A and B are shown apart, each in its own frame.
Chain A
Amino acid sequence: MAVTAVRPAASAVLDAERVRLDFPILARLVHGRALTYLDSAASAQMPLAVMRAIEDYQLRSHANVHRGVHLLSQEATAAYEGARERVRRFLNARSSREIVFVRGTTEAINLVAQSFARPRLAPGDEILITALEHHANIVPWQMVREQTGCSLVVAPIDRRGEVRLEELMKRLSPRTRLLALAHVSNALGTVLPVEEITAAARKRGIPVLIDGAQAVPHRAVDVRALDCDFYAFSGHKLYGPTGIGVLYGREELLAAMPPWQGGGDMILTVSFERTTYNELPWKFEAGTPNMSGAVGLAAAIDYVEALGLDAIAAHEQALLAEATAELERIPGLTILGTAAHKGAVVSFTLDGIHPHDIGTILDSEGVAVRTGHHCAMPVMEYFGVPATARASFACYNTRADVHRLAAALHKAREVFR
């Protein structure tokens, strides 16, 4: 059953100007100016190919799945399950039974929290996370802590925004029942050495969940090579639709977990006395699923693999280097997150100008960045700032975007001079 993932040969260089033509929204004006979209880490824009795949599904094949014998229902089921197989290949999972469609990364983590962690944990047990996690990888575990009496242990980071590996390793204890960590930090861009960490955890028999929301759009992910137990990501950060995401789970773990939500589609038989649950992965997909979302996600995967994830990564790393160099030249600008290995994210503050004001001034120049705590308030607290501004880069960004960002930041300094 194991099939090695076949990835299309990546073209050496990504032609971002051509890529931009696939994203009609990038041609619109904002406050009368060309849009410079630097907020893809929050939500990426969608290429026409994804919109057309969704449209085609809705125009031709939509019906409920796994139910009717009529042709549309069969086509819809084929499209939905075809999307699952597409995700399986994308992640190089062993089986499509290991691919559960969810609303997004947040729901994936909550599913693992409630269905995997909650029934297993008791007072004295520990869940280990890191200090750079998104709230979505903190709060679900706090809920499990309240429900079970377990402890939540946090591995610290250093001033560069890197997880202190020796401190994390020290916290892998016989009481650790789960390690949950980001692959790439959304607030700082830090790429975590998840292979090394996962290997250390698995040697001690500790299951590992990886929050891959910020990783999957920027690098090829192979869950078998990572050897993790759970891997979660969202469609809309991968140029796909919102409301669809994926939980990869190792089959033997998923099989042993109770269903999370009850309803239609997740059952085999129901009587008022007892219900037998459906097989994997449908056991975890109660109710009519998001078929058009799954179709769109599959099309988004086709899109990024056609561009080549290695080519995307090389392109973004070049932009990151250029943006870092250009922003470092701006007086009073401090970059938060200076890890040796970073995703294409630059989080920064500017002396005397609150990030919220930076956001407004940049917006007036057509430059869209995220400002705030990035759903990572503990990270902000660690660096002693209430918020940062964050520019994030994607396959469709160009050097011109970097220059427009820098020019807008100079403008912000002028306004506040």
Chain B
Amino acid sequence: MELRDLYRDVILDHNRHPRNFGQLEHPDAEAEGHNPLCGDRLRLAVRLAGDRIEDIRFEARGCAISRASASLMSEAVKGKDRAAVKRLFDSVHALLTDPHAPPAADLGKLAALSGVREFPARVKCASLCWHTLNAALEKSATTVTTEVPDEVPSGIAQQLAGEP
């Protein structure tokens, strides 16, 4: 377990200077992701041109891994159609969880996340943005979560999320 495998320069850079950070004007779909275990919270919006992600923006309050992963994802999916995004999602998922997964050629900078799988407690931090993007693409307005939030008192999660 090497810390430097987790906190690579690319990750630290995207954490400090997240790309595509902020609000998107005239979004076609939005979604919010929440990891109640660590308080990671992510809001993400996409503008579509037909089947293609024309633009994407996100706002995140969370750890370095979740911010960097969202930033890297936003760069990687911009301009891609749904089928290509789905293929990327599968590659990233394998990268994060399967130690025997062959290195996928299409990952590009996303490969910097390969160190995460040595830190099982952090896999959810890296995958939150992808689940949130999926939810947005399904035009689901619901909050996705990495956990059944059974330890969150009713009402409080919604308050934190700024929902009524």
Report A's interface with B, CB cutoff 8 A.
31, 135, 138-139, 142, 352-357, 360-361, 364, 371-373, 375, 377-378, 380-381, 386-387, 415-416
Contacts and interface: CB of A to CB of B under 8 A. Distances in A.
Contact of B62 (A135, A354, A416): A354
A413 to B, nearest CB: 12
A31 B37 contact: no
A356 B155 contact: no
A361 B3 contact: yes
B160 A377 contact: yes
B19 interface: no
A372 B121 CA distance: 13
B50 interface: no
Contact of A31 (B1, B40, B155): B1
Given A142-B155, A364-B3, A377-B152, A372 B37 contact: yes
B151 A380 contact: no
B41 interface: yes
A160 to B, nearest CB: 22
B113 to A, nearest CB: 14
The 5 closest A-B pairs by CB, nearest first: A386-B39, A354-B63, A356-B63, A387-B39, A356-B38
B94 interface: no
A136 to B, nearest CB: 9
Interface residues of B, number: 29
B7 A380 contact: no
Given A31-B1, A142-B153, A372 B39 contact: yes
Interface of B: 1, 3, 6-7, 12, 16, 37-41, 61-65, 119, 121-122, 125, 151-157, 159-160
Given A31-B1, A372-B37, A360 B6 contact: yes
Contacts of B12: 415-416
B153 A377 contact: yes
A409 to B, nearest CB: 14
Given A135-B153, A372-B39, A377-B153, 15 more contacts: A135-B151, A139-B153, A139-B154, A142-B154, A354-B38, A356-B39, A360-B119, A361-B3, A364-B3, A372-B37, A377-B152, A377-B156, A377-B157, A380-B39, A381-B156
